[in-house]
Chain A
Amino acid sequence: MATAIDELVALPARQVARRERLRLLWRSPTFLVGLVVVAFWVLCALVGRLLVPHDPYLPDLLSRLKPPSAAHWFGTDDIGRDVFSRVIVGARGILTVAPLATLLGTVAGTSIGLVAGYFRGIVDEVLMRVVDAFLAVPVVITGMLGLVALGPSTATLILVIGFVFTPLIARTVRAAVLAEREMEYVQAGRLRKENALYMMFVEILPNVLGPVLVEFTVRLGYAIFATATLSFLGFGIQPPAADWGLNLHDQYIYLTGGLWWPVLFPALAIATLVVGVNLLADGLAQVYER
């Protein structure tokens, strides 16, 4: 009975808050610029194959390493593939791996964070130390170790990045849960002797979704960073994909010979995507953390 009345009062308030946030988001230039950039690359990832002038996978040994021209806007790479077409379709790999890895890390991290924040005590203490241990080594290095141990592939890349992010996300969620557990609705639930799982996932989780969403977008930026770097090192997305990092891995040796075009354009693609996602994240954070 009590919960039904609470909901009647709380629901409109929550809706009003949500509408207010949306309104603020649409007014935030940071968020909008990020949205446009990310939307462009998502579109390329989804239908890029239909938009490109050349087959991105077809080698043409007669026109290897040709500089940008009317026929090949961004030039051709070391086996004569069209760089422009490869940059456009190259969005797919990274935009599959990074969001899935972030999602994996967010789901796992949110669950662990809820448990640690709700129960405190030893679970909490152990979790915080594990986070410290993960933070002591850069993600790229832990990722490299995990990928060598499991064998590099798209699936293991998602798994390893998700796994490395889990404790970091858990820590953020834990902090949010610690604030929530002092609230009256949690204490009331405890007095009613509600099931702990029900309390964590039905009562507390909806109230920490804001921080979770912000954390997801921030981590997404890092996941793109990590995916690109690991692919560049040769431990991430594997050939014959047109992935940006992988392309740079194959082509950067030509840089010392002055052949900049197979390298510059994938590098700029990575840069715009990472900056776009971070602008999105900043915009969301400004609205949610007011």
Chain B
Amino acid sequence: MGRFLLRRFGLALVTLWLLSIIVFVAAHVFPGDVGRRILGPFADPAAVASLNHQLGTDQPILSQYWSWLSGAVTGHLGTSLNYRDSVASLLGRAIGNSAKLGVVAFVLVVPLGILGGIVAALNRDRFLDRFITVAGLSAAVIPEFVWAIVVIILFGVVLRVLPVTAQAPEGSGVLTQLEYLILPAIALVLVLFGYIARITRAGMIEALDADYTRTAVLKGLSWATVIRRHVLRNALLPTVAVVASQTGYLIGGLVVIELIFNYPGIGYLLFTAAQKKDFPLLQGGVMFVGLVYLTATLLADIAYSLLNPRIRYGSAE
């Protein structure tokens, strides 16, 4: 297991390094003249030159990359042009808020998705199965901002039961904060539900068809025991991996959800960075999102191998 995880860790590092090249090329090479791109076509050339000097974008490209990368490795991501504050501390503050929203969404969607998948698998090829599968996947392909708009219209405008912003008033208690987070979380739940339900359903069906399940039934165990002790234990393994990979989708969704609900998280921060052409913040933010995603998948790999004896005792591959 050690070798397996070590290899995964090494691959994650390589991926992060390649991502740094992609991000760097996008932020430093694509714009041509970075200072000009930020200030616009009519800006004073002296101002452009001075901004380029301040950003270090007048340096040779390789030394720019080196100084950015060596800074990023030690946690120094530069200074935001817009907020005039360190990128690392801005990201640190925003991720706390996003994590709250993400946790509320996951706490809702993971049990619901797993339950949906189990119900679908137990009713295989019947109406309930078709309904859960088709509705879940249709919901998953619709963009988050469309769902956000639909839930705002439904709960905020028609029914008027929930607040339509995500940020609770200053100093409000946990319950009020939760109330404000429910609508944005529902929009995320609608997008994430289908994938989790589908993978759970697939895992369930594989386990239901397995020989060990037939043996368990034939030796006279009750159906409930078979499901709980034999089917679910095996069926939920792939779900662990999918839930982790959903963090990627989640963060992508946060950009629009946080914008619509006016919530100061990582997505909102990235959006303003892009809107203000705040390249240091945008670059640092994208790398940070990549880091979060890779950490989540790595943790999922660890959880998966702890839960799955076939990997725990098996070979490295």
| Contact in complex: B256, A140 (CB < 8 Å) | yes
| Contact in complex: A150, B143 (CB < 8 Å) | no
Smallest Cβ-Cβ distance to A144: which chain B residue: B274
Give the CA-CA distance A64 to B37 in the complex, in Å: 36
> Out of A145, A228, A255, A274, which one reaches B23, CB within 8 Å?
A145
A256 to chain B, nearest CB (A): 5
Give the CA-CA distance A274 to B248 in the complex, in Å: 20
| Contact in complex: B251, A271 (CB < 8 Å) | no
Which of B23, B138, B146, B286 has the most chain A CB atoms inside 10 A of its CB? B146
| Contact in complex: A145, B146 (CB < 8 Å) | no
Known: A145-B286, A255-B152, A271-B142. 7 other contacts (CB 8 A): A130-B18, A136-B290, A144-B282, A145-B274, A145-B282, A233-B271, A267-B146
The stretch among A96-104, A182-190, A258-266 that forms the contact with chain B is A258-266
> Out of A225, A260, A270, which one reaches B157, CB within 8 Å?
A260
Give the CA-CA distance A290 to B248 in the complex, in Å: 30
CB neighbors of A among B1-25 (8 A): 11, 14-16, 18-19, 21-23
Give the CA-CA distance A275 to B143 in the complex, in Å: 10
Question: Quick check: is B255 within 8 A (CB to CB) of the other chain?
Answer: yes
* Chain A residues whose C-beta falls within 8 Å of the C-beta of B165 in the assembled complex: 256
| Contact in complex: A264, B153 (CB < 8 Å) | yes
* Chain B residues whose C-beta falls within 8 Å of the C-beta of A136 in the assembled complex: 15-16, 19, 248, 289-290, 293-294
Question: Quick check: is B96 within 8 A (CB to CB) of the other chain?
Answer: no
Smallest Cβ-Cβ distance to B165: which chain A residue: A256
* Chain B residues whose C-beta falls within 8 Å of the C-beta of A263 in the assembled complex: 149, 153
Give 19 pairs: A residue, B residue, CB < 8 Å, sorted on A. A130-B18, A133-B18, A133-B21, A133-B290, A136-B19, A136-B290, A141-B252, A141-B286, A142-B26, A144-B270, A145-B283, A148-B282, A149-B37, A150-B30, A229-B143, A235-B274, A255-B152, A256-B164, A270-B142
B159 to chain A, nearest CB (A): 12
Mark contacts of B132-150 with chain A using CB atoms, 8 A cut-off: 1 yes-contact digit, 0 otherwise: 0000011001111110011
| Contact in complex: A221, B141 (CB < 8 Å) | yes
* Chain A residues whose C-beta falls within 8 Å of the C-beta of B11 in the assembled complex: 129, 132
Interface residues of A: mostly helix, strand, loop or mixed?
A: helix
> Out of A129, A145, A146, A229, which one reaches B145, CB within 8 Å?
A229
6 closest A-B pairs by beta carbon, nearest first, are A138-B252, A149-B30, A133-B18, A136-B290, A133-B19, A132-B15
Smallest Cβ-Cβ distance to B287: which chain A residue: A137
Smallest Cβ-Cβ distance to B20: which chain A residue: A133
CB neighbors of A among B88-126 (8 A): none
Q: How many residues of A contact B (CB 8 A)?
A: 44
> Out of A130, A138, A275, which one reaches B142, CB within 8 Å?
A275
Smallest Cβ-Cβ distance to B17: which chain A residue: A133
B37 to chain A, nearest CB (A): 7
> Out of B141, B282, B293, which one reaches A225, CB within 8 Å?
B141
| Contact in complex: A260, B153 (CB < 8 Å) | yes
Give the CA-CA distance A256 to B165 in the complex, in Å: 9
Give the CA-CA distance A40 to B31 in the complex, in Å: 39
Give the CA-CA distance A225 to B146 in the complex, in Å: 10
Question: Quick check: is B212 within 8 A (CB to CB) of the other chain?
Answer: no
Question: Quick check: is B128 within 8 A (CB to CB) of the other chain?
Answer: no
Question: Quick check: is A278 within 8 A (CB to CB) of the other chain?
Answer: yes
> Out of A140, A149, A221, which one reaches B255, CB within 8 Å?
A140
* A278 and B256 in contact, given A136-B293, A145-B26 (Cβ under 8 angstroms): no
Smallest Cβ-Cβ distance to A125: which chain B residue: B14
